[in-house]
Structure 1
Amino acid sequence: MDEVRTRWQWRQWRWSVPLVSGLLIAASLASARVPGAGLASDLLMVAAAVVAGAGIVRQAARALTARVVGIDLLVSVAAIGAVIIGEHWEAAAVTFLFAVGHALESATLTRTRSALAELVAVAPDVAVVLRDGEQVEVHAAAVAAGETVLVKNGAQVPVDGVVLSGNGALDEAAITGESMPVEKAEGDRVFAGTVSHGGFLQVRATGVGADTTLARIIHRVEEAQDAKARTAAFMDRFSAWYTPGIIASALVLGLATGDVVLALTLLVIGCPGALVISIPVAVVAGIGRGARDGILIKGGEFLETSARIDAVALDKTGTLTEGRPHLTDVVVLDPARDRDDVLGWAARAEAGSEHPLARPIIEAARAAGLDVTGLPDSTEPVPGRGIVATVDGHRVVVGNLALLRAQDVAVADVETTLDSLAAAGRTPMAVAVDGVLAGVVAVADRVRPDAEQMVRDLHAVGVRRVVMLTGDTRQVAEAVAAQVGVDEVRAGLLPEDKLAAVRDLQSRGHVVAMVGDGVNDAPALATADIGVAMGVAGTGVAIETADIALMADDLAKLPQSVRLARRTVAVMRQNIAIALATVAALLAGVLFGGVTMAVGMLVHEVSVLVVIANAMRLLRRPAATRSTGAGGDAAAYEMERTVGARA
């Protein structure tokens, strides 16, 4: 059994064919120096050609049965013809170098798919589950939804789930690209494939097996790496007429000159090996680099489109802002009171309210050490205005100007304060106790600390317009825009209005990326040239439907994804230029003399190596990505853009 396994592994090893063929060529060259060994030398050289060429002929035959005339056919015809006319060295050299090229291509694609291999490697095999009060070790796929899984220090999380109890730090790099461990506590979400760096967690399983975020990522990357880019599809069409053209040209040249060797040489030299690999290797490398950084790109077509993005439309709530209101201001208007009095009365009154703005007021009061336990004696919500409550026998009013007037509270001193806070993009609420104005509290959705830098970075990588689309009021939208530096604000929009805004940008010639939460932004996301879902770790629908899915809730990933797309397309163009220049130079060399079949194949393989090495650069994270300044991003983008344009 071990012997059979060893033979199978040898046949599967990508370098086995080039190695055997190369040894036979070396033996042939060595025996040629032995007097009288000419026949043995020729037989060894033919054997080398057969070993290296058998697979090529099989591939050509399969392609012909599917009515595809490919590059393998060129090499097969050239090698067989060379053997027939006695040019054994040329036949062996052509097939050997082509086999080396196939092995290099296989090795390179394997290397560039390393991101997927790494994801598969981190998929956990076992889980420790609590069953009937006992710890039981089972296969990760055998965990049932709802079961309690134990995650100990150093262990991999085997399922998606929610922390029931305990504290710990998890390395989530495989899912979000986040390099620092993330602290987890009760109520936090965890993902399969992450690794505990300390602590002990009890997790209720919500996603197991193929339903985990990790499994969906692996599936998406597999699909994306196999999807063809527009350039790759063009190359397929190009090969469909190029190969027959080269065969016909060689036939005409051979008949016109009577030089069969020259015709066969033209066949071999015309093989655009570097051109064939130039696009796939760049696409796979770019998508692999993105997967490592928590950026899932749906396929090569979307990678190319992303490189042309020059307008980005951003939802405000949850994208530019945190999506959760926070207390921003407490203004004291009654000289007999202080900040804690105003905040305390407001929080005690709001304790009986279900309004979303009640929570940030209560949380701020607790954070200030104020006692907000218990409920008001009575609560009277006034829709669209605020709330009237009785707290410890005191009548407390919290709301807008209209509510104060309806409750006969003097408002002369508060109107200016309310207007100024509203102008700053906040939601102000006056607080009155027993008919006397005490002060004003204001809440607002906090702008993300990295939003301004993200907008600068988008401009740095070549995005000309950054537009905010929001259903919020013009005042709030303008206040947020002033902080983050967007180029245009469109406020008070319904979902269909956001769709119209995206179409308007497209009608003005922009290639538009829409970034949103995928719910009320769904029509705009679908209409945009590229739909981007952000912070979708654990969200299966977003991973499957978004053109680009940013796993981490990190705004820096957005310009990073555009930068990666531009780098990838620049490499594609460079590779195509290298491949076409090589073919053109070699064809000229054949027609005007001086380039032999073996020399031509050697130059071809060198060009393949150059194309591969160029694409491998994408697997490295550029220094600009690791720097914090936008200037580095701009410099990196300009360098790639310039090189790509020259190519």
Structure 2
Amino acid sequence: MAKHDQAEDAGHKDGGVFGKNTELIFALLCGVALGTGFGLSYINTIPTWTSLSLYIVAYFFGGYFTAKEAVQTILKGGFEIDFLMLVAAIGAAILGEWAEGALLLFLFSLGHALEHYAMGKARKSIAALTNLAPPTALVVRDGKEEEIHIEKLVLGDIIIIKPNSKIPADGVVIKGEGSVNQAPITGESVPVDKSPVPDPAKDYTSEKSIKPQFRVFAGTINGASVLEVKVIKEAKDSTISRLVKMVNEAEKQKSPTQLFTDKFEKYFVPVVLILVSALCFAFLVIDEPFSKSFYRAMSVLVAASPCALAISTPSAVLSGVARAARGGVLIKGGRPLEDLGSLNAIAFDKTGTITEGKPQLTNAIPLNDISEEELLTVAVAVEKLSDHPLAEAIVKGAMEKLKKQKIPEAHNVKGIIGRGVQAEIGGKKIYIGNKALFNKAGIPQDILKQVEDLEKGGHTSMLVKRDKDFIGILSLMDVPRKDAKRVLSELTDLGIKKMIMLTGDNQQVAEAVAKQIGITEAWGDLMPEDKVKAVQKLDKSEKMVAMVGDGVNDAPAMAKSTVGIAMGAAGSDVALETADIALLGDRLESLPFAIGLSRKAKGIIKQNLWISLGVVGALIPLTILGIASIGPAVIAHEGSTLIVVFNALRLLAYKNDA
């Protein structure tokens, strides 16, 4: 009963004559036989052997699974609590206390069955993830549509996703546009718009980063449009399969508390066995019959069995990991689950974690009586012909403001490396670039001040010049995520004392972003190795520190932190492998949810420890002194075991806003 490994649970699922409910039905039959025998014992006209026969029947049904597990464990060289309970029941029978022994087996077997049922609920929560993906897919082969099992899909297959149906495989959209509900995998509450990849013929199976608008995951739900998807991962390698595998592996990884309880049991069980053996011979020291000493020893054996202690932490870890997975957070075991709830500081990578990860047009300031519309039109005409990374951001931002404005044609476009771009529009020369493109002395002082003020605020600024006149200033910035400020505030409320942003950008930009979102400190001008040193420094001062990043270039810093947390890990093999905790969706708000869940799990683990240790601590002296017999000891013992399991199951109902 103390060890609930997968092999044991598998055995209970196989059940017996009554299927998977055999153990519970056997326990109930034991109770019926015990109750009937006990009732008949009060009727003088009925022979005593009738009640005894019913108690023997109760022994069979109550002891069947207990004996089966005890034998299996002994054959493997183990020694568990099932064996101790069996010895106690046999001891009661030897003393002629058949009713007491039957009561022990009834409550033990009933507790065992209900406990397996309760733990099964937590495991079903994980198993439900595997059922998210449909069993079949509609595939197009040789120009014909056919429905096949998802295991038979091969890389490069084209599958058709009908409206409002589940997506059967990881892939990229090659035809059709629409939204997909990704909540089952990433926890995102808002459907994500999907569109076809630019090159449908390309092999995307080994592509490291695929934009979210092109990618779909098995188990997500298509919206109202028909999509054609190219399969890029086999069923066994899909994000959902990897998630289920990792959650199951996480269950096996022990938490610090679990390691403590294992160590405690290692010394506690032998001490109990020595105590029980000594109590069997108490009649040699005190004036009482052997039967009384033996009965007391059996009572102590039941009272001291640490069933509740053994199951208290694994049940909470299993429930916590399962609940996190349902919320789009992969927690790899008990250690990160507990550590996450003990954090004092969090270090964030800036780009793509705190910020959107791509520059946006933030300001278009017209100069010399030029309208904003004219400035943006000139900028779009030139930048749409440039391949510079910032050009795309300028064009996108400007077009959103211009709507369907007609754009003039630019000619003789030429990039000036590290400075900007030049072109001609309507016979006039246009220059767009940084201060270095222009002679600093030639930039009017008032315009130069505006540019420098923007740069102090963390913006990348560009001047726009037409012939001899400056007609405007454009500024871009990798803007903070919309939810960043709120998330950081929630983390503060959760008790995180220090939040530091680490970035390769200059200190000025780092401080500007930090000011906007209310982060504690910003450390700029950092190389990847500097981030590792920064995390080590935080680890020394704050003891428990997490590093949040994208799981690729931040992997070394994550490895040095107490808990490494990867953002947007769905579909990213590297992020899933390197991080202790993976936020599957690209959602910063998953972080307070994960920390809140961890705090709740830590609280429940502590409660379970107090309950289990408290009951054992109270029962041992009560049974030694003879105040409590086997019956009350069994009730308290089994009751505490069920209490800790059902207490742990409360984590499955944890709410995001709790």
Distance change (3 Å), C-alpha of 1:136 and 1:560 = same
Cα shift readout 1:343-390 (whole Å, capped 9, x = no counterpart): 22222222332211111111233331344476x432332222212223
Conserved? CA contact 1:409–1:437, under 8 Å: no
Distance in 2, Cα, partners of 1:222 & 1:47: 39
Post-superposition offset of 1:547: 0.6
Post-superposition offset of 1:409: 5.2
Determine which of 305, 309, 325 is the counterpart of 2:339: 305
Determine which of 486, 495, 519 is the counterpart of 1:486: 519
Which residue of 2 is the match for residue 402 of structure 1? 436
Post-superposition offset of 1:58: 3.8
Post-superposition offset of 1:419: 0.3
Asked whether 1:446 is paired with 2:479, we answer yes
Asked whether 1:178 is paired with 2:188, we answer yes
Asked whether 1:465 is paired with 2:498, we answer yes
Asked whether 1:193 is paired with 2:231, we answer no
Distance in 1, Cα, partners of 2:408 & 2:653: 55
Which residue of 1 is the match for residue 105 of structure 2? 95
Asked whether 1:20 is paired with 2:29, we answer yes
Determine which of 118, 123, 135 is the counterpart of 2:133: 123
Which residue of 2 is the match for residue 57 of structure 1? 67
Distance in 2, Cα, partners of 1:178 & 1:417: 40
Which residue of 1 is the match for residue 308 of structure 2? 274
Further displaced range: 578-587 or 384-393: 384-393
Determine which of 249, 260, 283 is the counterpart of 1:223: 249
Further displaced range: 184-193 or 356-365: 184-193
Determine which of 351, 355, 379 is the counterpart of 2:388: 355
Distance in 1, Cα, partners of 2:16 & 2:312: 33
Post-superposition offset of 1:110: 1.0
SS of residue in 1 equivalent to 2:389: coil
SS of residue in 2 equivalent to 1:446: coil
Conserved? CA contact 1:69–1:244, under 8 Å: no
Post-superposition offset of 1:530: 0.5
Conserved? CA contact 2:40–2:46, under 8 Å: no
Asked whether 1:429 is paired with 2:462, we answer yes
Conserved? CA contact 2:552–2:575, under 8 Å: no
Post-superposition offset of 1:176: 1.3
Post-superposition offset of 1:96: 1.6
Post-superposition offset of 1:89: 1.4
What is the 5 A alignment of 1:335-414? Answer: 335=369, 337-367=370-400, 368=402, 369-372=404-407, 376-405=410-439, 410-414=443-447
Report the AA paired with residue 50 of structure 1.
F
Report the AA paired with residue 228 of structure 2.
Q
What is the 5 A alignment of 1:539-578? Answer: 539-578=572-611
Which residue of 1 is the match for residue 205 of structure 2? none
Report the AA paired with residue 398 of structure 1.
I
Conserved? CA contact 1:326–1:361, under 8 Å: yes
Asked whether 1:519 is paired with 2:519, we answer no
TM-score normalised by L of structure 2: 0.90
Report the AA paired with residue 144 of structure 1.
V
Off by >6 Å, runs of 4+ in structure 1 = none
Post-superposition offset of 1:532: 0.4
SS of residue in 1 equivalent to 2:516: helix
Distance in 2, Cα, partners of 1:521 & 1:117: 32
Report the AA paired with residue 112 of structure 2.
H
SS of residue in 2 equivalent to 1:515: strand
Cα shift readout 1:210-242 (whole Å, capped 9, x = no counterpart): 121111111111111232222112222222221
Post-superposition offset of 1:78: 1.1
Distance change (3 Å), C-alpha of 1:180 and 1:439 = closer
Distance in 2, Cα, partners of 1:332 & 1:409: 18
Post-superposition offset of 1:432: 0.6
Report the AA paired with residue 564 of structure 1.
L
Which residue of 2 is the match for residue 70 of structure 1? 80
Unaligned runs of 5+ in 1: 627-635, 637-647
Conserved? CA contact 1:329–1:443, under 8 Å: yes
Asked whether 1:530 is paired with 2:540, we answer no
Cα shift readout 1:79-136 (whole Å, capped 9, x = no counterpart): 1211222111121111221111211221111112232122122121111112233221
Distance in 1, Cα, partners of 2:101 & 2:430: 96
Asked whether 1:416 is paired with 2:449, we answer yes
Q: Percent identity between the aligned chains?
A: 37
RMSD over aligned Cα atoms: 2.1
Further displaced range: 463-472 or 580-589: 580-589
Conserved? CA contact 2:378–2:408, under 8 Å: no
Conserved? CA contact 1:351–1:372, under 8 Å: no
Distance in 2, Cα, partners of 1:460 & 1:185: 39
Report the AA paired with residue 216 of structure 1.
R
Distance in 2, Cα, partners of 1:595 & 1:578: 18
Which residue of 2 is the match for residue 161 of structure 1? 171
Asked whether 1:141 is paired with 2:156, we answer no
Distance in 2, Cα, partners of 1:527 & 1:53: 51
Cα shift readout 1:529-575 (whole Å, capped 9, x = no counterpart): 10101112222332233111111111111111111111101100101
Conserved? CA contact 2:503–2:525, under 8 Å: yes
SS of residue in 1 equivalent to 2:500: strand
Report the AA paired with residue 454 of structure 2.
L
Cα shift readout 1:467-507 (whole Å, capped 9, x = no counterpart): 00000111111111001111111001000000000000011
Conserved? CA contact 1:382–1:388, under 8 Å: yes
Conserved? CA contact 2:420–2:434, under 8 Å: yes
Distance change (3 Å), C-alpha of 1:323 and 1:608 = same
Which residue of 2 is the match for residue 32 of structure 1? 41
Distance in 2, Cα, partners of 1:509 & 1:450: 26
Further displaced range: 25-34 or 226-235: 25-34
Distance change (3 Å), C-alpha of 1:395 and 1:59 = same
Which residue of 2 is the match for residue 236 of structure 1? 262
Distance in 1, Cα, partners of 2:432 & 2:149: 56
Unaligned runs of 5+ in 2: 1-13, 198-212, 284-289
SS of residue in 1 equivalent to 2:471: strand
Distance in 1, Cα, partners of 2:332 & 2:633: 38
Conserved? CA contact 2:33–2:55, under 8 Å: yes
Distance in 1, Cα, partners of 2:339 & 2:397: 45
Post-superposition offset of 1:523: 0.8
Post-superposition offset of 1:36: 4.5
Distance change (3 Å), C-alpha of 1:66 and 1:130 = closer
Distance in 1, Cα, partners of 2:408 & 2:249: 54
SS of residue in 2 equivalent to 1:10: coil
Distance in 1, Cα, partners of 2:16 & 2:512: 70
Asked whether 1:285 is paired with 2:295, we answer no
Which residue of 2 is the match for residue 633 of structure 1? none
Which residue of 2 is the match for residue 505 of structure 1? 538
Distance in 2, Cα, partners of 1:66 & 1:300: 26
Conserved? CA contact 2:115–2:642, under 8 Å: no
Further displaced range: 436-445 or 339-348: 339-348
Cα shift readout 1:37-86 (whole Å, capped 9, x = no counterpart): 21232132123223322432343344445554432232122112112221
Q: Across the two proteins, how many residue pairs are aligned to each other?
A: 618
Distance change (3 Å), C-alpha of 1:95 and 1:228 = same
What is the 5 A alignment of 1:553-632? Answer: 553-622=586-655, 625-626=656-657
SS of residue in 1 equivalent to 2:479: strand
Which residue of 2 is the match for residue 644 of structure 1? none
Determine which of 85, 100, 104 is the counterpart of 2:95: 85
Conserved? CA contact 2:455–2:461, under 8 Å: yes
SS of residue in 2 equivalent to 1:536: coil
Conserved? CA contact 1:70–1:240, under 8 Å: no
Further displaced range: 342-351 or 209-218: 342-351
Which residue of 2 is the match for residue 316 of structure 1? 350
SS of residue in 2 equivalent to 1:414: helix
Post-superposition offset of 1:410: 4.4
